[in-house]
Amino acid sequence: VTTGHDAPVATATSTGGGAAPVAVGELVAAARDGSVRAIARLLTTVENGGAPAGAVAAELTGLPRPAEIIGITGAPGAGKSTLTGALLHRLRSGSDGRAARTVAVLAVDPSSPFSGGALLGDRVRMAEHVTDPGVFIRSMSSRGSLGGLSAGTPAAVDLMSALGFDVVIIETVGVGQSEVDVMHLADTVAVVLAPGMGDGIQAAKAGIMEIADLLVVNKADHEGTKAAVRELKGMVALGRSGVAEAGSWRIPVLATVASDGMGVDELVAALGEHRQHLVSSGELARRQARRAGAAVESVVLERVRRALAGPAGRRELAAAADSVVAGRIDHHRAAQGVIDWLRSPPAAD
């Protein structure tokens, strides 16, 4: 079945005309010195993908990446953005006996291939930090314009780490596989729920319990908090949240009121404990490898999609489809032919 659907794809495939390496080097230097404009330009470049994004990645090779990467996900409306704002505030003012840390926040929306819109409210909520040079906040989409996890998302996380931010917070909106994909980029994942009927069950169904390192019942000023905490502790005790392979880590269940900061110190402490666990158990290295693997995979898939969406790629697919319809070859052999073509495409048209 052909859909006759013309993908809305930019035809420029970014061969040639890539950003000059010197300019990229200067941008990276300026960004590491704290220039917000340079950081924003680099982020846009890696989000857009293609050869310029490759040039940025090359420039970042070998730089230390000390950032703690924290994922915040959970039920819609549970207070993820408010909690991110509260966490930001605490990390910036220094807490837990530590100095103030620099923080990058990437608010990632898997439901839309475009940024903006739904996340505007989040920007407003974090408005107190807009003039703070130690904070960088950006919303972005996690889905590439050609489908799948955008190569820009892993690249953005890596960029923030390589630019020297102490903490990178990834907040996702929405529920589902793409959210899980995004959270696989984090070292520590906090799943945020609000008290209410069967929240834990819903989260379990959505597959986000399995990725939780910390469980947070936010809106603890609402009724049902104790019941929700009890339900979640029960699920943890029964091993429902499935991080048993991570060894001795016992998932804490915390209660917060993000809107007034209650419980945020405890959250910061729990994040620190998980960090120590990651280091001492060797799990940190495994998660770093998982993140690097996701970055590589996303570029591979993006390049395949780009190649197939271009005029030559569409012709190649159409020819393969004709052969299958005519009964000359089966679709597996046709696919192999397309893969061979991808490995050595004739000069682009």
Ligand X SMILES: Nc1nc2c(ncn2[C@@H]2O[C@H](COP(=O)(O)OP(=O)(O)OP(=O)(O)O)[C@@H](O)[C@H]2O)c(=O)[nH]1
Residues of the shown chain interacting with Mg ion in the complex, contacts defined by CB under 5 A: 80-81, 122
178 is an interface residue for ligand X by CB under 6 A: no
Q: Note whether 82 binds ligand X by CB under 6 A.
A: yes
Q: Which of 65, 90, 138, 219 binds ligand X (CB under 6 A)?
A: 219
Q: Is residue 66 a contact partner of residue 161, using CB atoms and an 8 Å limit?
A: yes
User: Choosing among Mg ion, ligand X, none, which partner's interface includes residue 76 (Cβ < 5 to 8 Å by kind)?
Assistant: ligand X
Q: Closest separation between CB of residue 172 and ligand X, Å?
A: 9
Region from 77-85, 149-157, 227-235, 310-318 binding ligand X, contact rule CB under 6 A: 77-85
Pick 134 or 261: Cβ nearer ligand X: 261
Q: Which is nearer to ligand X, 80 or 90 (CB)?
A: 80
**Contact between 92 and 103 (Cβ < 8 Å):** yes
Stretch that binds ligand X, among 131-139, 183-191, 205-213, 252-260 (CB under 6 A): 252-260
Nearer to ligand X, 98 or 226 (CB): 226
**Sheet containing strand 214-217, strands side by side:** 135-141, 103-109, 167-172, 68-74, 188-193, 214-217, 253-255
For residue 35, the SS3 value is coil
Nearer to ligand X, 13 or 178 (CB): 178
Binding residue (CB under 6 A) for ligand X from 45, 81, 188, 241: 81
- The window from 144-152, 154-162, 214-222, 291-299 that contacts ligand X (CB under 6 A) reads 214-222
Tell me the closest approach of the beta carbon of residue 109 to Mg ion, in angstroms: 9
Distance of alpha carbon 75 from alpha carbon 276, whole angstroms: 27
Residue pair 216/254 in contact (Cβ under 8 Å)? The answer is yes
How far, CA to CA in Å, does 67 sit from each of 103, 207, 223, 280?
9, 26, 37, 17
Helix (H) or strand (E) holding 171: strand 167-172
Q: How far is the CB of 71 from ligand X (least distance, A)?
A: 13
Instruction: Give the residue nearest to Mg ion (CB).
Output: 81
Read off the tokens for 57: 């990645």
Residue of 173, 182, 253, 334 that binds ligand X (CB under 6 A): 173
**Closer residue to ligand X (CB): 169 or 257:** 257
Q: Does 79 bind ligand X (CB under 6 A)?
A: yes
Task: Judge residue 166's burial from the number of C-beta atoms within 10 Å of its C-beta, 0-12 exposed, 13-18 middle, 19 or more buried.
Answer: middle
Contacts of 187 (CB under 8 A, 6+ apart): 68, 69, 70, 275, 278, 284, 287, 288
User: Which lies closer to Mg ion via its Cβ, residue 81 or residue 225?
Assistant: 81
Specify the residue, 125 or 233, whose C-beta has the smaller distance to ligand X. 125
Q: Applying CB under 6 A, which of residues 31, 209, 257, 271 lies at the interface with ligand X?
A: 257
Binding of ligand X by 115 (CB under 6 A): no
The distance of closest approach from Cβ of residue 242 to ligand X in the complex, given in angstroms and rounded to an integer, is 23
141 binds ligand X (CB under 6 A): no
Residues in CB range of 223: below 8 A, 6 or more apart:
195
List residues bridging with 262 in a β-sheet.
257
Minimum distance, C-beta of residue 119 to Mg ion, in the bound complex (Å): 7
| Nearest to ligand X of 159, 173 (CB atom) | 173
Q: Can you count the helices (H) and strands (E) in the chain?
A: 13, 7
What's the CA gap between 58 and 44, in Å, rounded?
16
CA 241, CA 238: separation in Å to the nearest integer? 8
Q: Report the interface residues with ligand X, using CB under 6 A.
A: 76-82, 173, 218-219, 221, 257-259
